[in-house]
Chains A and B, each alone.
Chain A
Amino acid sequence: MNVTATHPYVAALLAGSGALPKSPAAWLDARRAAALERANALAVPTTRDEEWRFTDLTPLTKLQVQPVTTAVKVSAGDVAAHAVPEAAISLVFVDGVPAPELAQRGALPAGVTVIALTDALKSHAALVEPHLGKLAGNEPAGDDLFTALNTAFLQHGVFIHLANNAQLKAPIHLLFVAAGNGVATYPRCLIVAEGGAEACVIEDYVALGEAAYLTNAVTEIAVAPNASVRHIKLQRESQKAFHISTCAVTLAKDARFQSHAVTLGARLSRNNLNITQQGEGAQIEIDGLALIGGRQTADTHTLMDHTKPHGTCKQTHKTIVGGAGHAVFNGKVFVREGAQLTDSSQQSRNLLLSDKAHVDTKPQLEIFADDVKCAHGAAVGQLDADHLFYLKSRGLPEAQARNLLTYAFGAEIIDHIPVPSLVAVLEKLVMARTEAGV
């Protein structure tokens, strides 16, 4: 394992990879080494790369980050505000390293396993091996530097396993706390739902201060026939942070997957969601909301790959952009040859609140089957003058009317989240942001 990257920033990022302890499994060492080889050959993408056409990573390359060496002490009081009371279990990571003393563990039903990845490699290696590092990095979107980096640094994270028909109604809460400055973290989550199983996982990224750091997260989700996974991702990183994440999902026959992603934080964030429908009749719902202002950039790239017939996918992505914010959306929908009777729809709705705010949106359909129903729509606009007038005629001041309408625009996504305490927190956050003019 040698760092031979010619790109200086990639070489700098990879510098710490030699210090990784040997993993308990030889196959994992091999996967890490392969990822390092891939990362060595790649450069930091520029706006000349189609996948990064609208998001300029230059600010990131000016930030020197290293994997955490000395952990910052975080007390239970520091993270108390981020607790999710409904959760059956809550695991906490500080700068990517497990903090078991902060975890909240309740009794889990039989067949449900939620443990740190380092433990899973010892106790559940046979279940981890078929999936870890196999789902992410093999998407049709092509070679991604950040996925390769995450795999090269693969050490800490979470393994969630649901045995056949194991069902957990209460959500599983994974809290990733950023505390250190100049830190690069590479969290990894693997969620495996066996046949007929059901679970809801909350990935929650928060910051304790206003530090500058890089979170490079990868989540892999394998959903077996008839199983159902709901994935909620909240991103509230610091305003100086960089957050780049990839979530790779494979769905077997009649599997269900629901994704809710809410982006509020980070100086620059990129959310990749790559879903492959590998079995017939899978059902997918994708909700996304980005609320940004200041000089923030929020980039969401989704890829819905229908490879088998009878799949359905309903996607709604909304952005609210104030200040000099920049929202980017690219939603790819592939319908492969033979994926007949696919019903896939996609909406990109964007609300611009200020003169300097801007949006680049690119829905994309690639269809190779003739008996399908596919539609996409994109709209960019401002608050409706009639709606404002109506509220003002009812005695609401201009500012309040604007806030209410802005909030209502985002509420459609937030209200879909079936965790009341999260909805309450998000409502408060969004209200506060819209009142502050984003």
Chain B
Amino acid sequence: MSTVLDNLVSQPYKHGFVTDIESESAPKGLSEDTIRMISAKKNEPEWLLEFRLQAYRHWLTMTEPQWPNVHYPKIDFQAISYYAAPKPKKKLSMDEVDPELLRTFEKLGVPMHERAALAGVAVDVIFDSVSVTTTYKEKLAEVGIIFCSISEAVHNHPELVKKYMGSVVPAGDNFYAALNSAVFTDGSFCFIPKGVKCPMDLSTYFRINTQDSGQFERTLIIAEEGAKVSYLEGCTAPQFDTNQLHAAVVELVALDDADIKYSTVQNWYAGDENGVGGIYNFVTKRGLCKGHNSKISWTQVETGSAITWKYPSCVLLGDNSIGEFYSVALTNHMQQADTGTKMIHIGKNTKSTIISKGISAGRSNNSYRGLVKIGAKADGARNFSQCDSMLIGTQCGANTFPYIQVNNPTAKVEHEATTSKIGEDQLFYFQSRGIPTEEAVSMIINGFCKDVFQQLPMEFAVEATKLLGLKLEGSVG
């Protein structure tokens, strides 16, 4: 058992390499001048600069939150470079894209053309902070869908960005959201007009590349009345020794009868077995079910990052709206995860489901923290939560911190949590059927996570299953 664990734990990071592209970085440090510089570089309108500056001024008055169950050295916000862009070269078509860059994606297993064509996925590739290329744009444009980088959206659709940006996660929402609002460099923008069902899964592939450059993406997805979209986000990062801060903001808006499904597979560099290096993943993700009968569903598979700290949430404002959260969080070595969700029921007959599966191995610490809040007007609200933890090894920790606040007597809220380990008898059963221990463990873990994997789009489900296998390879048995 322990040797398998050791092997599993000692899997080297398979995506660790640094692409050697000249990048244009801002000098380290944060001030109003840095923000003006970013804004000027990106040729932004005055209102956006004002939005950034207001966020920055608010950020200055805030203090770093201390409540999460994670520990890390204090971040020096002045030691981070807030802007990095690959040196601009005229790029006319895919053939002219820096071959070095393309090779990076190939190493990651994202052959852009094939992937886009075969998998039917439009990939908005983010390489450090600037969108390099966007595929399938025309095909989407035919049905009126806007899918582009947020900087393009600022120029081409300023009225939409202005209307919705900051409407779900206000600039001063929390410390890291304020920081992001001040310095975000790029991200994805997606607008599905009234009555349109997006014909393909939309996807963005992130990759943090330049050493010491924090990434501050901003994603904004708007689904108008009756629209439907499934959005995929996946990430890997090269191996670095210095910690990289990642403070993204994701905002989803669903109007009447709209349906947004947001899936994430996160496999950023987690640091080595002694906890050196790795990404700090401090993300604010929130969806607003603004209209009646709207639905937002979050699915996440978190396997990377030294520290994961995020709570994809749903504000259920419209009557009969639905919020869902499906999560698998796996921590190994010295990784720390404090993740969960918030379901804020405001409208009548709103429903939410939370399924969270935490797996801790090595010396890691895995916490579920969730809030279910039923407002006084949310008649007939319904919530079901299930948070299961699995411990592999004796030095890891699993915690659950569910907050349940109910202000309406007609609400029905249920919460269940269990903690378990892989039973000796379960392993014995598999072995007696001729299945080797390692495979048995992988099957048990996949079974444990089944409820969540079922929610993932096909390609991601395959990737996620592989990821868990890879992460735990040789660690249990």
Contacts and interface: CB of A to CB of B under 8 A. Distances in A.
Contact of A361 (B397, B404, B407): B404
Nearest to A383: B409
B418 A337 contact: no
B252 interface: no
Contacts of A370: 391-394, 396, 421
Q: Interface residues of B: mostly helix, strand, loop or mixed?
A: strand
Report the 10 A-B pairs with minimum CB-CB distance, sorted nearest first.
Answer: A352-B409, A370-B391, A378-B415, A358-B407, A374-B419, A380-B413, A366-B399, A380-B406, A365-B400, A368-B397
B4 to A, nearest CB: 14
B406 to A, nearest CB: 4
Contacts of B67: 50
Chain A CB count within 10 A is highest, among B398, B408, B409, for B409
B417 A355 contact: no
B397 A367 contact: yes
Contact of B405 (A357, A359, A377): A359
Given A50-B67, A360-B403, A375-B417, A337 B395 contact: yes
Given A358-B406, A367-B397, A381 B416 contact: no
B405 A360 contact: yes
A358 B405 contact: yes
Contact of A363 (B389, B402, B406, B409): B402
B420 interface: yes
Contacts of B414: 377-379
A259 B417 CA distance: 23
Contacts of B115: none
Interface in A364-390: 364-382
Given A367-B419, A370-B396, A372-B419, A380 B404 contact: yes
Interface residues of A, number: 37
Contacts of B406: 350, 352, 358-361, 380
10 contacts: A352-B406, A367-B391, A370-B394, A377-B414, A377-B416, A378-B415, A379-B413, A381-B411, A381-B413, A382-B412
A380 B399 contact: no
A362 interface: yes
A414 interface: no
Given A379-B413, A380-B412, A364 B399 contact: yes
Interface string B99-137: 000000000000000000000000000000000000000
A294 to B, nearest CB: 16
Contacts of B420: 373
A365 B399 CA distance: 5
A353 B394 CA distance: 44
B211 interface: no
B77 interface: no
Nearest to A350: B406
Nearest to B373: A360
A364 B417 CA distance: 9
A363 B413 contact: no
Given A340-B394, A360-B406, A376-B417, 16 more contacts: A54-B405, A337-B395, A355-B409, A358-B376, A359-B404, A360-B404, A364-B400, A364-B402, A365-B389, A367-B391, A374-B417, A376-B416, A378-B404, A379-B412, A379-B415, A380-B404
State which size class the interface on B falls in. Answer: 35 or more
Contacts of A379: 412-415
A352 B399 CA distance: 28
A374 B405 contact: no
B428 interface: no
A374 B417 CA distance: 8
B392 A374 contact: no
A408 B403 CA distance: 27
B302 to A, nearest CB: 19
Contacts of A362: 401-404
Interface in B405-449: 405-421
Contacts of A258: none
Contacts of B411: 352, 380-381
Given A362-B401, A362-B402, A371 B415 contact: no
A368 B360 CA distance: 10
Given A358-B405, A380-B404, A366 B417 contact: no
B399 A353 contact: no
Nearest to B422: A370
Nearest to A371: B421
Nearest to A372: B419
A23 interface: no
Nearest to B397: A368
A362 B404 CA distance: 6
Contacts of A165: none
A118 interface: no
A355 B403 contact: no
A178 B374 CA distance: 37
Among A357, A377, A378, A382, chain B packs the most CB atoms within 10 A around the CB of A378
B193 to A, nearest CB: 39
Nearest to B389: A367
Contacts of A366: 397-400
Given A360-B405, A367-B419, A370-B392, A381 B398 contact: no
Interface in B361-408: 374, 376, 389, 391-408
B419 A373 contact: yes
A4 interface: no
Nearest to A368: B397
A353 B411 CA distance: 11
Given A370-B391, A370-B394, A375-B418, A382 B400 contact: no
Nearest to B399: A366
A365 B398 contact: yes
B418 A374 contact: yes
Contacts of A358: 376, 405-408
Contacts of B417: 363, 365, 374-377
Contacts of A365: 389, 398-400, 417, 419
A113 interface: no
A379 B395 CA distance: 32
Contacts of A378: 402, 404, 413-415
Contacts of B403: 360, 362
B422 to A, nearest CB: 9
Interface in A322-353: 337-338, 340, 350, 352-353
A300 to B, nearest CB: 14
Contacts of A352: 406, 408-409, 411
B65 to A, nearest CB: 12
A354 B394 CA distance: 46
Interface in A208-247: none
